[in-house]
Structure 1
Amino acid sequence: MASIHPDPLGDVPKLSHEPSFDDEKKGYGIEAEKSLDSPDSERGTLALGSSEHVNGEPIISTGEDVSNYLVDVHDVGGEALTFRSIVLGTILSGFGASVTQARTFIYSFKPLPVSVSSIFLLLVIYSAGRIWARFPTREYFDRHPRLKRYAAIVHFLNPGEFGMKEHAVATFISTTASAGSTAVNNFAVQRLFYNTNPNAVTAVLATFSTACFGYGLVGLLRPLTVYPSYMVFWASLPSVTVFQTLHHDKVHNKEITSKRVRYFWYAVAGMAIYEILPAYIFPLLNGISIICLATQNAPPHARSVISYIFGGANSNEGLGVFEFSFDWQYLGSYYMSVPLIQQVNTWVGIFFGYFALLGIYYANTWNAKNFPFLSTAIFDSQGNVYNQSFVFGPDFNLNRTALAELGPPYLAGGNVLNNMAQNWAIGGLIAHVTLFWGKDVIAAFKLANARKQPDRHWIAMQKYKEAPMWWYAVLLVLSFFAGLIVIFKGNTTLPWWGYLVALSSGAIIAPFSTALFGRMGNGIATNQLFKMIAGAIHPGKPVANLYFAMWSHDVVSTSVNLAGDLKLGQYLKIPPRVMFITQVYGTILGAVINYVVMQVITTNKRAILLDPIGDNQWSGFGYQSLNSNAVTWSLAGQVYGIHSLYRWVPLGLILGAIPVVFQWLISRRVKKIGPLSIDKIILPYSMGNIALLGAGINSTVWSSIILAIVSQVYLRRYKPKWFRNFNYLIGGGLDGGAQITIFILTFAVYGASGTARPFPTWWGNTDTGNIDYCLHQRKGG
Structure 2
Amino acid sequence: MTGAIDPPSSKEDNEEINDSPIDEVRLTVPIIDDPTLPTLTFRTWVLGIASCVLLAFVNKFFGYRQNQLSVSSVTAQIVVLPIGKLMAATLPTKPIRVPMTKWSFSLNPGPFNLKEHVLITIFANSGAGGVYAVHIITIVKAFYHRDMHPFAAFLLAQTTQMLGYGWAGIFRKYLVDSPYMWWPSNLVQVSLFRALHEKEKRPKGGLTRLQFFLIVMISSFAYYVIPNYLFPSITALSIVCWIWKNSVTAQQIGSGNSGLGIGSIGLDWATASSYTGSPLATPGFAIVNILIGFVLIVYIVTPISYWNNWFNAKMFPIFSSKTFDADGNKYNISRVINQATFDFDQKGYDNYSPIHLSTFFAFSYGLSFATLGATLTHVALFHWSSIWQLSRKTVGKARDQVEDVHNRLMKKYNPVPQWWFHLILVSMVGLAILTCEGFGQQLQLPYWGVFLACALALFYTLPIGIITATTNQTPGLNVITELVIGYMYPGKPLANVAFKTYGYISMNQAIQFLADFKLGHYMKIPPRSMFVAQLVGTVVASTVYFGTAWWLLTTVENICDPSSLPDGSPWTCPGDAVFYSASVIWGLVGPLRMFGSLGVYDKVNWFFLIGAISPIPVYVLARLFPNQRWISLINMPVILGATGSMPPGRAVNYITYFVVGIFFNLYVYRKYRGWWARHNYILSAGLDAGVALMGVLMYYALQGYDIYGMNWWGLDADDHCPLASCPTAPGMVVEGCPAY
TM-score (norm 2): 0.89
- Equivalent of residue 71 in structure 1, options 7, 23, 29: 29
> Do the aligned residues in 1 keep the contact of 2:158 with 2:543 (CA within 8 Å)?
no
1:167 alignment partner, one of 117, 139, 144: 117
Cα 1:647–1:746 change in 2 (3 A) is: farther
Whole-angstrom CA distance in 2 between matches of 1:574 and 1:270 = 33
Pick the aligned partner of 1:392 from 337, 343, 362: 337
Q: Distance in 2 between matches of 1:747 and 1:600?
A: 18
The 5-angstrom pairing of residues 326-337 of structure 1 reads 326-332=267-273, 334-337=278-281
2:163 corresponds to which residue?
213
Is structure 2 residue 177 aligned with structure 1 residue 227?
yes
Change (3 A) 1:8 1:695: closer
For 1:611 and 1:705, how far apart are their aligned partners in 2?
Answer: 35
| CA shift in 2, pair 1:272/1:723, >3 Å | same
Q: Residue 514 of structure 2: which of 551, 558, 563 is its match?
A: 563
Residue matched to 1:522: 473
| Secondary structure at the counterpart of residue 238 of structure 1 | helix
Structure 1 counterpart of 2:604: 649
Aligned equivalent of 1:322, options 235, 259, 263: 263
SS of the aligned residue for 1:492 comes to: coil
SS at match of 1:229: coil
Whether the 8 Å contact between 2:2 and 2:23 is mirrored in structure 1 is no
CA contact 2:461–2:510 (8 Å) conserved in 1: yes
**In structure 1, what is the Cα distance between the partners aligned to 2:62 and 2:363?**
25
Amino acid at match of 2:55: G
- 2:535 maps to 1:577: no
What's the offset of the Cα at 1:15? 7.5
Residues 747/557 of structure 1: CA separation in 2 closer, same or farther (3 Å cut): farther
Change (3 A) 1:15 1:746: farther
Overall identity of the aligned pairs, in %: 25
CA distance in 1, matches of 2:33, 2:637: 38
Alignment of 1:194-213 (within 5 A): 194-213=144-163
Q: Cα RMSD (Å) of the superposition?
A: 3.1
Q: Within the alignment, does 1:95 sit opposite 2:46 as a pair? A: no
Match status 1:275 vs 2:233 = no
Equivalent AA in structure 2 for residue 639 of structure 1: M
Q: Partner of 2:6 in structure 1?
A: 11
Partner of 1:338: 282
Q: Report the counterpart of residue 539 of structure 2 in structure 1.
A: 588
Q: Tell me the residue number matched to 1:54.
A: none
Q: Work out whether residues 5 and 181 of structure 2, in 8 Å CA contact, stay in contact via their aligned partners in 1.
A: no
- Cα distance in 1, alignment partners of residues 344 and 185 from structure 2: 43
CA separation of 1:696/1:517 partners in 2, compared to 1, >3 Å: closer, same or farther?
closer
Q: 1:386 to 1:83 in 2, by over 3 A?
A: same
Query: For the residues of structure 1 that align with 2:544 and 2:326, how far apart are their CA atoms?
Result: 40
Change (3 A) 1:197 1:166: farther
Could you tell me which residue of structure 2 aligns to residue 362 of structure 1? 307
How many Å separate the matches in 2 of 1:64 and 1:527? 31
Structure 2 residue 359 is the aligned partner of structure 1 residue 413: yes
Does 473-482 or 693-702 show the bigger shift? 693-702
Letter in 2 for 1:604: V
Residue by residue, what CA displacement relative to the aligned partner does 1:401-432 show, whole Å, maximum 9, x if unpaired? 22222233222221111111111111111111
What residue in structure 1 maps to residue 417 of structure 2?
A: 468
Give the deviation of 1:689 after TM superposition.
Answer: 2.6
* 2:108 counterpart letter in structure 1: N
2:731 maps to what in 1?
none
Judged with a 3 Å threshold, the aligned counterparts in structure 2 of structure 1 residues 176 and 48 are, in CA distance, closer, same or farther, namely same
Note the C-alpha offset of 1:492: 0.8
Q: Which of 625, 639, 642 is residue 578 of structure 2 equivalent to?
A: 625
Q: Which residue of 1 aligns with 2:548?
A: 597
> How many angstroms apart in 2 are the aligned matches of 1:524 and 1:512?
10
Determine the C-alpha separation between the residues in 1 that align with 2:513 and 2:668.
Answer: 30
Q: Which residue of 2 aligns with 1:681?
A: 634
Aligned to 2:236: 287
Matched, 1:531 2:482: yes
Residue of structure 2 equivalent to 1:55: none
Consecutive unaligned residues of structure 1, counting only runs of 5 or more, are 1-5, 20-46, 51-57, 143-151
Per-residue CA deviations over 1:85-132 (Å, capped at 9, x if unaligned) read: 111111222322145xxxx53565566887754211211222322232
Deviation at residue 290 of structure 1 after TM alignment: 3.1
The 1:733/1:233 distance shift into structure 2, 3 A limit, reads: same
Partners of 2:594 and 2:600 within 8 A in 1 = yes
1:423 matched residue in structure 2: 369
CA distance in 1, matches of 2:461, 2:558: 33
CA 644–697 in structure 1, closer or farther in 2 if over 3 Å, else same: closer
The Cα offsets for residues 132-185 of structure 1, whole Å up to 9 and x where unpaired, read as 22314328x99xxxxxxxxx9997223332211111112211221342612222
CA distance in 1, matches of 2:31, 2:173: 19
Matches of 2:673 and 2:223, distance apart in 1: 28
In structure 2, the residue corresponding to 1:168 is in which secondary structure?
A: helix
**One-letter amino acid matched to 1:72:** P
Q: Map of 1:35-74 to 2, 5 A cutoff?
A: 48=16, 64-74=22-32
The one-letter code matched in structure 1 to 2:640 is M
> What is residue 132 of structure 2 aligned with on the other side?
182
Q: Is the 8 A contact 1:366 1:645 kept in 2?
A: yes
Structure 2 CA distance for partners of 1:618 and 1:276, relative to 1, 3 Å: farther
1:624 positional shift: 2.6
Q: How far off is 1:334 after superposition?
A: 2.0
State the Cα distance separating 1:235 from its structure 2 match. 1.4
Cα distance 1:154–1:265, how it changes in 2: closer, same or farther (>3 A)? farther
What's 1:123 paired with?
Answer: 78
Q: Distance in 1 between matches of 2:68 and 2:391?
A: 36
1:648-692 Cα distance to aligned partner (Å, 9 max, x none): 22332222112222332333323366xx52221111222223575
Other-structure match for 1:701 = 654
- Aligned partner of 1:507 in structure 2 is 458
Q: CA deviation at 1:187?
A: 1.4
Structure 2 counterpart of 1:419, one-letter code:
Y
Task: Label 1:588 to 1:692 Cα distance change in 2 as closer, same or farther (>3 A).
Answer: closer
Change beyond 3 A, Cα 1:384–1:581: same
Residue of structure 1 in register with 2:491 after alignment: 540
Distance in 2 (alpha carbons) for counterparts of 1:761 and 1:737: 25
The Cα shift of 1:574 comes to: 0.9
Q: Which residue is 2:722 aligned to? A: 775
Task: Give the Å deviation of 1:592.
Answer: 0.9
Q: Which amino acid aligns with 2:32?
A: H
Shift of 1:488: 1.9
Q: 2:350 and 2:271 mapped to 1: Cα distance?
A: 43
Cα distance in structure 2, aligned partners of 1:362 and 1:18: 52
1:442 and 2:393 matched: no
Query: Given the superposition, is the C-alpha separation of residues 746 and 431 from structure 1 closer, same or farther in structure 2, using an over 3 Å criterion?
Result: farther
Partners of 2:155 and 2:431 within 8 A in 1: yes
> Which amino acid in the other structure matches residue 116 of structure 2?
E
Instruction: Name the CA distance, whole Å, in 2 between partners of 1:171 and 1:85.
Output: 9
Residue 743 of structure 1 pairs with residue 693 of structure 2 = no
Residues in 2 aligned to 1:612 and 1:680: alpha-carbon distance in whole angstroms = 50
* Contact 2:51 2:127 (C-alpha < 8 Å) held by counterparts: no
Q: 1:719 corresponds to which letter in structure 2? A: Y
Q: Distance in 2 between matches of 1:337 and 1:216?
A: 28
Normalising to structure 1: TM-score of the pair?
Answer: 0.84
Contact 1:112 1:696 in 2 (8 A): no
Distance 1:425 1:116 in 2: 29
Say if 1:339 and 1:107 are closer, same or farther in 2 by CA, change over 3 A: farther
Q: Which amino acid aligns with 1:372?
A: P
The offset of 1:204, in angstroms, is 2.6
The answer for the alignment partner of 1:260 in structure 2 is 209
Give the length in aligned residue pairs: 708
The answer to whether the Cα contact below 8 Å between 2:290 and 2:639 also exists between their aligned partners in 1 is yes
